[in-house]
Chain A
Amino acid sequence: MSFTNHRKMQLYGSLLLLPAALLLTTFAYLPTVTTVINSLFLPGFRGAPTEFVGLENYQVLFDDPTFWQVARNNLLYALGTIPTSIALALGMALFVNGKLRGRGFVRMAYFTPTILPMIAAANIWMFFYAPQIGLFNSLLGMLGFSGVNWLGDPSVALSSVIVMSVWKEAGFFMIFYLAALQSMPPELKEAADLEGTSRWSFFWRVTFPLLMPTTLFVLINALINSVRVVDHLFILTKGGPNNATNLLLYYVYENAFSFFDRTTAATITVVILLVLAVVATLKFTILDRRTHYQ
């Protein structure tokens, strides 16, 4: 009796898992395996058979200065977008969580960039950044400064892309912080007020630690987003000028579809996957232990 019940439960459980397992296998595990295999072979020229070359493709990739430039760009991009957008999101959430006239409107205004499709947003920003007719240089001109070629000058182009990404992402992360803030029990604040705690130490001692699970979630999301940038580069810079704004996934795309070099694309993908795996391990072993869940 209990045996069949047990079997039934197992079957029931497996059936519940099946859709997810199927989707993950088709769209995550199988492609990963084929990508790893592809990165170990070199296709022949004009229909000649592919040849197993072991790690040679990785050797070639690590000798490619563009790859290192792109990797460096991506690191700078991550360092530029992640802390800034998280800090901004937290600030905005605290702001619109308080008593404020026209609160609904401000919340909506902060969230608007998130609703816009990336391509549309990038097209708008392309005109903000346009050197002669763009919004930013017109404003600078009014203040008497000469303009900057935001996307055309290699020394500022990457920063320009970063600014736009922060604008696009902060509002999205704000929503999570706002939700977390609203689910916080009001007794905590009341108790703190009775004790005469200052707002500053209440934030650092109570609010911020309680937001840690949200921060962790947002951090992971921001990290993922910093590695999967392709769409705005299409519109804004195409990775230029002279690779100044080329990022890893865009470089993968270029190799796979502009250069028809699937091997190199697969090799870079595997490298990205390995790096992300290391980061994920760190997350599970270190960060998770320091996070207090409610």
Chain B
Amino acid sequence: MRLRTPFAMTALAAGLLSAAQVNADSVDLTMYYPVAVGGALTDVVDNLVEEFESEHPDINVEAIYAGNYDDTRVRAMSAMEAGDTPQLSVMFSIDLYELIEQNAIVAFDDLVETDEEREWLDGFYPGLMENGQLDGKTYGIPFQRSTIVLFWNKDAFEAAGLDPETPPENWEEMAEMAATVREASNGEQWGVMVPSTGYPYWMFQAFAFQNGHRLMSEDGTEVYFDDPAAVEALEYWVSLATEHNAMPDGTIEWGTLRQNFLEESTAMMWHTTGNLTAVRSEANFDFGVAMLPMKTQRGSPTGGGNFYIFEDATEEEQRAAMTFIRWMTAPERAAAWSIETGYMGVSPAAYETDALQGYVEEFPPAAVARDQLEHGTAELSTYQGGRIRRALDNAVQAALTGQMTPQEALSQAQQEADSVLRRYAR
């Protein structure tokens, strides 16, 4: 005891001292963030935050994992209503209109001061900025961003007598190849699966865009669900099951699809590139990753989460939040994040780092999402987004489960959307 006391005293004194130092003029930030794919991404985020704090002792970041994208929005908005707004959060890139309508967030253009900061703001892929911008201002900074890619099982292709190195280029080829796999396996293996729970509108948007059609207006006040090109896209999706017998009937579960692919019950799947690292570490067969097939053009909507800074934070907190976001999206960090998850490096500079360059060389699928960005389109985002997406989700599911024809389903969704958007379209 006699020995311990001085030690304890010193420890206490040291603790007090360091606490005093931290408190001197440090800024506390709270951030919510979502994880929408499998894997221990929370650890990755925690490590990044720790590293940031050791480099910036005057800023404390409390990063709170808040579930999927919807849960995160709910938590952030409830905190805001309770008067305990976080200073920044990662949320769905398409939450923009809702956040603006609630006057919740600030534009980065109003925060940047130096040339260096302006340069940072201009350094991201323009395709990833589209969902974060409105009226010429940037509200969302790309972080965990993705596109939909095609994963294919090379072993299954070979077993079915297809060239294992050649993924389908267009819709026709995909249907044919998928049907071939199905036949060659005597019905043991499906040809292709496209998930239709969770985010059906997202997958449908890819089909529609490949058919040369964009589902919404630039300003988020109008949607075009019942356009003949959209109907044709949904008809093709449905026909994969009904006509080509290459995809199972009914809806396909977003959450179990990766497992389906890993257990080789399907030869191809459409899924977010955010699954790439997990598939790579768990697949015990040879697989490839390709851009989605085309009808009249290639295409995939972008997806995933952006950083936002909240209006209620003080000016000092907003500056600190921006420092943190700049650090998190710096090329080296973006590269490391991409390697650990499969999400995209968000800026061209990220792909120029040695780390990501080396990784892409060793594992070329890591570059597919980026290459596809050239053919990307903004994710479906409108005013009243939740309701609009739900209307389209229902239409897609009604068509896939045979409750309605694609034409009927999309006309109904259009009607519903029109009445919801009536007051914005004026």
Contacts of A204 in B (CB 8 A): none
B241 smallest CB distance to A (angstroms)? 10
Inter-subunit contact A127/B259 (CB<8 Å):
yes
Considering the complex, give the chain B residue whose CB is closest to the CB of A258.
Answer: B386
Looking at A134, A151, A153, A242, the one whose CB has the most chain B CB atoms below 10 A away is A242
Inter-subunit contact B401/A153 (CB<8 Å):
yes
Question: Assuming A257-B73, A260-B98, is B256 touching A241 (CB within 8 A)?
Answer: no
Contacts of B197 in A (CB 8 A): 151-152, 237-238, 240-241
Residues in A235-267 with C-beta less than 8 Å from chain B:
235, 237-238, 240-243, 254, 257-261
Residue among B103, B198, B387, B403 making CB contact with A242, cutoff 8 Å? B403
Q: How far is the CA of A265 from the CA of B256 in the complex (A)?
A: 31
Q: How far is the CA of A151 from the CA of B253 in the complex (A)?
A: 8
Inter-subunit contact A241/B386 (CB<8 Å):
no
Question: Assuming A132-B266, A257-B74, A258-B70, is B102 touching A241 (CB within 8 A)?
Answer: no
Q: Mark B222-258, 1 if CB is under 8 A from A, else 0.
A: 0000000000000000000000000011111101100
Considering the complex, give the chain B residue whose CB is closest to the CB of A237.
Answer: B197
Question: Assuming A149-B251, A240-B197, is B401 touching A45 (CB within 8 A)?
Answer: no
Question: Assuming A126-B256, A237-B197, is B250 touching A131 (CB within 8 A)?
Answer: yes
Inter-subunit contact B70/A149 (CB<8 Å):
no
Inter-subunit contact B394/A238 (CB<8 Å):
no
Contacts of B250 in A (CB 8 A): 131, 149, 152-153, 241
B398 within 8 Å of A (CB atoms)? yes
Contacts of A257 in B (CB 8 A): 70, 73-74, 77
Contacts of B423 in A (CB 8 A): 45
Q: How far is the CA of A149 from the CA of B259 in the complex (A)?
A: 16
Looking at chain A's contact residues, the main secondary structure is loop
A59 smallest CB distance to B (angstroms)? 15
Considering the complex, give the chain B residue whose CB is closest to the CB of A256.
Answer: B74
Residue among A46, A153, A237, A241 making CB contact with B398, cutoff 8 Å? A241
Number of B residues with CB within 8 Å of any CB on chain A: 37
Question: Assuming A133-B260, A258-B390, A260-B386, is B397 touching A241 (CB within 8 A)?
Answer: yes
Inter-subunit contact A259/B384 (CB<8 Å):
yes
Question: Assuming A46-B101, A258-B70, A258-B390, is B401 touching A241 (CB within 8 A)?
Answer: yes
Inter-subunit contact A240/B393 (CB<8 Å):
yes
Inter-subunit contact A154/B266 (CB<8 Å):
no
Residues in A82-136 with C-beta less than 8 Å from chain B:
126-127, 130-134
A117 smallest CB distance to B (angstroms)? 14
Inter-subunit contact A154/B384 (CB<8 Å):
no
Inter-subunit contact A152/B260 (CB<8 Å):
no
Contacts of B384 in A (CB 8 A): 259
Q: How many residue pairs bridge A and B at CB < 8 Å?
A: 94
Question: Assuming A132-B260, A254-B390, is B101 touching A152 (CB within 8 A)?
Answer: no
Inter-subunit contact A240/B394 (CB<8 Å):
yes
Q: How far is the CA of A132 from the CA of B102 in the complex (A)?
A: 43
A158 smallest CB distance to B (angstroms)? 13
Inter-subunit contact B401/A152 (CB<8 Å):
yes
In the complex, which range does the number of interface residues on chain A fall in? Answer: 20 to 34
Contacts of A134 in B (CB 8 A): 256
Inter-subunit contact B265/A241 (CB<8 Å):
no
Inter-subunit contact A151/B251 (CB<8 Å):
yes
Contacts of A243 in B (CB 8 A): 394
Contacts of B74 in A (CB 8 A): 257
Q: How far is the CA of A200 from the CA of B197 in the complex (A)?
A: 49
Contacts of A258 in B (CB 8 A): 70, 386-387, 390
Considering the complex, give the chain A residue whose CB is closest to the CB of B200.
Answer: A240
Inter-subunit contact A242/B248 (CB<8 Å):
no
Inter-subunit contact B390/A260 (CB<8 Å):
no
Inter-subunit contact A242/B256 (CB<8 Å):
no
Residue among A45, A130, A149, A151 making CB contact with B260, cutoff 8 Å? A130
A259 smallest CB distance to B (angstroms)? 4
Residue among A46, A154, A235 making CB contact with B401, cutoff 8 Å? A154
B404 smallest CB distance to A (angstroms)? 8
Inter-subunit contact A261/B387 (CB<8 Å):
yes
A63 smallest CB distance to B (angstroms)? 12
Q: How far is the CA of A133 from the CA of B263 in the complex (A)?
A: 8
Q: How far is the CA of A254 from the CA of B393 in the complex (A)?
A: 14
B151 within 8 Å of A (CB atoms)? no
Residues in B306-335 with C-beta less than 8 Å from chain A:
none
Considering the complex, give the chain B residue whose CB is closest to the CB of A156.
Answer: B250
Contacts of B393 in A (CB 8 A): 240
Residues in A40-57 with C-beta less than 8 Å from chain B:
45-47
B247 smallest CB distance to A (angstroms)? 11
Q: How far is the CA of A240 from the CA of B394 in the complex (A)?
A: 7
Q: How far is the CA of A154 from the CA of B404 in the complex (A)?
A: 12
Q: How far is the CA of A261 from the CA of B102 in the complex (A)?
A: 12
Contacts of B77 in A (CB 8 A): 257, 260
Contacts of A153 in B (CB 8 A): 249-251, 401
A6 smallest CB distance to B (angstroms)? 43
Contacts of B266 in A (CB 8 A): 132
Contacts of B398 in A (CB 8 A): 241-242
Inter-subunit contact A242/B401 (CB<8 Å):
yes
Inter-subunit contact B253/A240 (CB<8 Å):
no
Residues in A19-48 with C-beta less than 8 Å from chain B:
45-47
Q: Mark B394-419, 1 if CB is under 8 A from A, else 0.
A: 10011011010000000000000000
B190 within 8 Å of A (CB atoms)? yes
- Between-chain CB contacts (< 8 Å), 25 pairs: A127-B256, A130-B256, A130-B259, A131-B250, A132-B190, A132-B248, A132-B265, A133-B260, A149-B248, A149-B249, A149-B250, A149-B251, A153-B249, A154-B401, A238-B197, A240-B197, A241-B397, A243-B394, A257-B74, A257-B77, A258-B390, A259-B387, A260-B101, A260-B386, A261-B387
Closest 7 CB pairs of A and B: A152-B250, A149-B250, A152-B251, A241-B397, A258-B386, A132-B265, A259-B386
